[in-house]
Structure 1
């Protein structure tokens, strides 16, 4: 049976795929993970643009370690592990397979967080989250 929400797993996977993670200051003692959009999202459908902004907002909640629903400890740990892995990669060498695993794990957590935050009313919740972004 197909429901109206069956497209969300693929949509959220596409949204998280548009994001790029990098270290803000490689000389810092504690690596700070920074998120940016890989492509110009203006050419994407409005729903995807809204979902990207909402996902970036949720990532900022994970970075601040807000332990309110839907943020959980596993997401915070996955983000920290990704930051450490990216910081450990040699400059200019590209992403190691080790780092790629942490990247995939955090992306999956981020997808799950977005769905947990919007599941009861996806469009409205995405708009609420996205509106929190400047």
Structure 2
């Protein structure tokens, strides 16, 4: 846990801790007031590309399983079944990993929205005002 240099708020370590110009720890509210914009989601583009790559691998795995079953011929049913099972297993595994990554990205975005809403609600600590002005 870190302590905000300006307002003294306790900040959980991780994506909620921001650094000021002098390297001191700041909460998101104080960081925004200092003129800084919130940094982009950590690994957002890379994670989205990984999700896309996993979906492409899932389709390729399923297509590979179907191709293996076609190449097995009429008499070799066991090879065809193993090919389809391996392709389906690869497809399901890649889809599961892709959904886990999407869930992580969605959770991070939700936490950012919650933090932003809490900052608006808390405001300067004065009653009836939020970070953007009067609530009324």
TM-score by length of 2: 0.30
Higher relative contact order (CA 8 A, sep 6+): 1
Larger radius of gyration: 2
